[in-house]
Structure 1
Amino acid sequence: MAEVWQAQALAQAIGSRLAVSGPPELRGEALGLTELAGRGCGVLDPPELDPGDLRAAQLTELDDARQTLLSLGGLLGEVGIALVGMASSAADETTYWQCMEAIDAADESRDRVLEMLRKLAAREEVLPDHT
């Protein structure tokens, strides 16, 4: 669950960074990603980590938005699969429902990431190639 929480925190940080300084056509979706990932963190108990161990806090820049989003989309997909496994083997109802809510948040976050990738691809088709 700590890894799932960290993945959502990373999605929140990436969304926040893109909302502020990413390509203009991504900013609305990025803000939505920030909110969704925040909800994903909110349904899980935060892990007991030192601030230096929080991967999202180590994010300093996003040089390549496309590559970052591709990697984040893959991570959120893996998180969803892991959560399904955790939910199916949950020992109690609270953990089961926590997993189900986290699955929903991860899935919606991944949908936002895929929409941003689609917008980036459309942008690249419109921009002329200067090579």
Structure 2
Amino acid sequence: MDAVRLIGTSRRALAGSRRVPEIMTEVWQAQALAQAIGSRLAVFGPPELRGEALGLTELAGRGCGVLDTPELADGDLRAAQLTELGDARQALMSLGSLLGEVGIALVGMASASDDEGTYWQCMEAIDAADESRDRVLEMLRRLADREQVLPEREAG
């Protein structure tokens, strides 16, 4: 499945989650998907993005690592369903939105949590999601710079 469709599925699942375990599962799924997209971009993406894509892979992996790994049924890991990136810009824009929504969900959980362990887990996951989103925004900036340079070369 292409990245944009998987991200859309994650966004809907996160929006529909009501209880802490469901939200945590969707946050973990989003970070795993960001990690997979980063890996794919690092190998197959434009050369300008490869360093940032590796950084995204590392940060999203840290985002998964600070959360308890959810028990998923066979075939439910969205990151494993990623077969193609499609348009890198669209995938990154969608991923940036998803990571922003992840951060908002985590802030809500941390604010409502009476459990100190859950609170700190949320805080670490917020940092990872925010840093992952920063990488995505940097890759979008690099794509925009690249597209601006290409027409100048063609005109010259």
Q: TM-score, normalised by structure 1?
A: 0.97
Q: 2:44 aligns with which of 17, 21, 34?
A: 21
Letter in 2 for 1:120: L
Q: 2:122 aligns with which of 88, 91, 99?
A: 99
Q: How big is the shift at 1:55?
A: 0.7
Q: How big is the shift at 1:117?
A: 0.1
- Asked if 1:89 is matched to 2:112, the reply is yes
Gaps in structure 1 of 5+ consecutive residues: none
Residues in 1 aligned to 2:92 and 2:84: alpha-carbon distance in whole angstroms: 13
Q: How big is the shift at 1:63?
A: 1.6
Report the identity percentage: 86
Alignment of 1:20-99 (within 5 A): 20-99=43-122
| Match in the other structure for 1:8 | 31
Q: CA RMSD in A?
A: 1.1
Residues in 1 aligned to 2:74 and 2:150: alpha-carbon distance in whole angstroms: 41
Judge conservation of contact 1:11–1:34 (CA < 8 Å) in 2.
yes
Gaps in structure 2 of 5+ consecutive residues: 1-23
Q: TM-score, normalised by structure 2?
A: 0.81
Q: How big is the shift at 1:119?
A: 0.1
Q: Deviations over 1:20-74 (max 9, x none)?
A: 0100000000000000000000000011002410111100011200000000000
